[in-house]
Amino acid sequence: MADPANCPPLTRSSVQAAHKLIRPYIHRTPVLTNTTLNNLASTPQTPESLVGTQWEGHQPAHPKLRLYFKCENLQRIGAFKARGAFHATLRLMAQEGWEANGGREKGVVTHSSGNHAQALALAAKTMGIPAHIIMPSISTPTKIAATQGYGARVIFSGSTSVEREAAAAEIIAETGATLIPPYDHPDIMLGQGTLSLELQEQSVELGASGGLDAIIAPCGGGGMLGGTALSCEGTGIRVFGAEPSFEGANDAQRGFDAGRRVESVTSLTIADGLRTPVGVYPWSVIYERKLVQAMYSVTDEQIKTAMRLVFERMKMVVEPSAVVGLAVALFDEGLRGVMEREGGDAGWDLGVVFSGGNVSMKALSGFFSVEGA
């Protein structure tokens, strides 16, 4: 991986440069709108639904919203992670002496049980270089098969971060491969931020004539939220982050409150892509540079409700992590109040990032099998 010190500066124009670099390899995913979801988001919640929350007894907010959904569930490998993986790989290959020093034979390595594993496997295969992917031996067989399906070598490890990092160090020593981390690196952030450049253009084509008022995006390690924030710098578009609240997975929100980054998370939220703490580079953009206005969080039940709406009304498959932004827009009275006050009669054009769609039918059935009609 490129030494971060040699990476492009973390700016909007670096995101634009990243987009130019990766465009031949990724899908320009569609942006969808949906009348039913606009109506739902523009209807006040019932007073009863606020009972037991800090908003109990308040007048429910009444924002007027037009939502623009960026469908990265339709991205290659089923998630935005393809963007960062292609960008980091291409930047690595462009390093002086990379080929002469045997970079093409040494390849790349990462440890991931999720979308980044498949994303890096795809990028490496496309570039004709080897990928060594360390996965916990308890990973689901479908994820292992998918990663191997892209031609990667899968190495099994224990599931703790210590065990995974030890396995990675061993592979690096053995092969000379370069580590491509899942989120905590400038090249990854710049790659992920390209989705937001597209969203900004596509929403105007779809009728947001004055441009978006804001974008809300999920936050796990923060690579994508950080990249999104960079892509909006200087545009006047506000950026909000969304997290699951279950078992403290809202580490970035808690970090905003405490004034410093929370460094570890142990949550089993159903939003399994968001169980990681925000990384150092993303935090520098999201919090220290104040490029994200605020963080919000939702319960796992609210995530399931949002998934069901997308499924039944938009006929789209999204993974739990993908809908935390929509869930915040529908259910968080704090943000809904902001949107009502700032949007006024004209309302707001709100970009909502659907980050991925990699959920198996089996997992989905498990989430909803004990539910009512």
List, in sequence order, every residue forming a beta bridge with 349; answer none if it has no partner. 66
How do beta strands 65-71 and 238-244 pair? unpaired
Residue 46 binds a second copy (CB under 8 A) = no
User: With the C-alpha atoms ordered 54, 57, 58, 64, is the resulting torsion angle positive or negative?
Assistant: positive
Residue 302 binds a second copy (CB under 8 A) = no
Closest distance of CB 372 from a second copy, Å = 8
The phi and psi torsions of 118 (rounded to 5 degrees) equal: -65, -35
Residue 74 binds a second copy (CB under 8 A) = yes
Closest distance of CB 360 from a second copy, Å = 6
- What DSSP designation does 310 have? H
244-260 burial by CB neighbour count: b if 16+ within 10 A, else e?
bbbebbbbbbbbbeeee
Q: Would you say 243 and 300 are in contact if contact means Cβ atoms under 8 Å apart?
A: no
User: With the C-alpha atoms ordered 302, 307, 310, 312, is the resulting torsion angle positive or negative?
Assistant: negative
Cβ partners under 8 Å of residue 85, min gap 6: 116, 119, 120, 122, 123, 180, 188, 191
Residue 264 binds a second copy (CB under 8 A) = no
Closer residue to a second copy (CB): 115 or 267: 115
Residue 40 binds a second copy (CB under 8 A) = no
> What angle is formed at CA 42 by the lines to CA 38 and CA 47, rounded to 5 degrees?
135
Residue 114 binds a second copy (CB under 8 A) = no
Closer residue to a second copy (CB): 13 or 39: 39
Which x/- pattern, by CB under 8 A, does the window 313-332 give for a second copy? --xxxx--------------
Residue 98 binds a second copy (CB under 8 A) = no
Residue 13 binds a second copy (CB under 8 A) = no
Residue 78 binds a second copy (CB under 8 A) = yes
- Owner of token pair 């970079």: 103
Residue 312 binds a second copy (CB under 8 A) = yes
Residue 369 binds a second copy (CB under 8 A) = yes
Residue 345 binds a second copy (CB under 8 A) = no
List, in sequence order, every residue forming a beta bridge with 321; answer none if it has no partner. none
Q: In the set 6, 43, 101, 142, which binds a second copy (CB under 8 A)?
A: 142
Q: Of the listed pieces 60-68, 274-282, 305-313, 324-332, which binds a second copy according to CB under 8 A?
A: 305-313
Cβ partners under 8 Å of residue 207, min gap 6: 33, 66
What tokens does 214 get? 């804001």
Q: Of the listed pieces 92-100, 129-137, 253-261, 309-317, which binds a second copy according to CB under 8 A?
A: 309-317
Q: Of the listed pieces 139-147, 234-242, 249-257, 274-282, which binds a second copy according to CB under 8 A?
A: 139-147
The number of residues in the chain equals 373
For the CA atoms of 202, 241, 47, 50, the dihedral, rounded to the nearest 10 degrees, stands at: 150
Instruction: Count the site residues for a second copy by CB under 8 A.
Output: 27
Q: In the set 52, 57, 128, 141, which binds a second copy (CB under 8 A)?
A: 141
Closer residue to a second copy (CB): 129 or 307: 307
Residue of 178, 197, 69 lying closest to 132 (CA atoms): 178
CA 336 from chain centre, in angstroms, equals: 22
Closer residue to a second copy (CB): 184 or 272: 272
Residue 364 binds a second copy (CB under 8 A) = yes
Q: Of the listed pieces 160-168, 261-269, 294-302, 361-369, which binds a second copy according to CB under 8 A?
A: 361-369
Residue 43 binds a second copy (CB under 8 A) = no
**Which residues of this chain interact with a second copy, rule CB under 8 A?**
73-74, 78, 140-142, 307-308, 311-312, 315-318, 357, 360-362, 364-369, 371-373
